[in-house]
């Protein structure tokens, strides 16, 4: 594999994605920050990484749309070089409610954004990384969720279902490309202090539920980022089709 390490981190303008971008940058990666709408947050993160001496670009793209994904990868290859790692972190959730209160439009949007983004970006990465296509290999790390196991009843069944699909995609793709120089793994974070909980209508959700966690506390985005970095590094060179659960024992 080439010595120059290049990573695309989708949905990395905030939260786990932003912490992952900073951690990869300090570990020798050229970083592409991908985001959908928040220009201010993405540009601030890019400037922070550049000031630290690491090459970094930001690319605004909706990764649930195929043409945007193709453009994203083309820009990265032109400005940073051949991609060696992809972190599929982009995802959304909606306000807490029961399944019988969810609209068809909501359920469809959650699946489209959360699953299609992972599928489209993984497809583009495989086309560039796979030795079958003349690539030099690489790593894909998907950001799933502990919700894929709990089901998130009365809160986010749609979100949980989308993350369950990502778990299955992770396992299937890992086996499909294992002999082509690509490793595919996932992290399934539990209750982590991120801005995403505000999208569900409950800013203090982690504090409300932390007594259910065996470690009796919520997690920090950097603790998830560390697991992602390990899966992307050569330290996990014999690991594929596997999951790490940064969830405090849940």
Query: What pLDDT is recorded for position 204?
Result: 87
User: Could you tell me which CATH number the domain at 5-244 has?
Assistant: 3.40.50.720
Domain ranges of the chain: 5-244
pLDDT in tens, 190-239: 999 987 766 666 778 999 999 999 999 999 999 999 999 999 999 999 99
The pLDDT confidence band at residue 1, using thresholds 50, 70 and 90, is very low
Query: What pLDDT is recorded for position 198?
Result: 64
Range in 13-17, 29-33, 114-118 with the lowest mean pLDDT: 13-17
From the CA atom positions of the chain, what is the Rg in Å? 17
DSSP 8-class letter at 21: H
Mean pLDDT of all residues in 93-111: 96
pLDDT for 119 beyond 60: yes
Handedness of CA 128, 130, 133, 135 (dihedral sign): positive
Place of tokens 């020798």: 28
pTM of the entire structure?
Answer: 0.95
**Is the CB of residue 11 less than 8 Å from the CB of residue 62?**
no
User: Which residues form the catalytic set?
Assistant: 159
Percentage of residues in the chain with pLDDT exceeding 90? 92
Query: What pLDDT is recorded for position 10?
Result: 98
Mean pLDDT of all residues in 122-140: 98
Residues present in the chain in total: 250
**Is the CB of residue 107 less than 8 Å from the CB of residue 31?**
no
């Amino acid at each position: 594999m080439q010595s120059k390490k290049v990573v695309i981190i989708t949905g990395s303008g905030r939260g786990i994605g932003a912490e992952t971008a900073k951690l990869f940058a300090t570990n020798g990666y050229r970083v592409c920050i991908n985001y959908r709408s928040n220009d201010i947050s993405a540009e601030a993160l890019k400037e922070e990484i550049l000031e630290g001496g690491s090459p970094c670009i930001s690319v605004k793209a909706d990764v649930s749309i195929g043409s945007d994904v193709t453009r994203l990868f083309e820009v990265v290859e032109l400005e940073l070089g051949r991609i060696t790692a992809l972190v599929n972190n982009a995802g959304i959730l909606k306000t807490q409610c029961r399944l019988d209160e969810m609209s068809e439009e909501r359920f469809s949007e959650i699946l489209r954004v959360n699953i299609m983004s992972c599928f489209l970006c993984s497809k583009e990465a495989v086309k560039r990384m796979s030795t079958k296509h003349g690539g030099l290999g690489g790593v894909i790390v998907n950001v799933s969720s502990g919700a894929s196991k709990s089901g998130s009843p009365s809160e986010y069944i749609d979100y949980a279902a989308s993350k369950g699909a990502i778990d299955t995609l992770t396992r299937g793709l890992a086996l499909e490309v294992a002999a082509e120089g690509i490793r595919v793994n996932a992290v399934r974070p539990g209750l982590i202090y991120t801005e995403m909980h505000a999208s569900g209508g409950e800013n203090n959700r982690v504090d409300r539920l932390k007594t259910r966690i065996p470690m009796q506390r919520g997690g920090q985005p950097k603790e998830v980022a560390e697991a992602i970095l390990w899966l992307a590094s050569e330290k996990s060179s014999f690991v594929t089709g596997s999951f790490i659960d940064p969830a405090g024992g849940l």
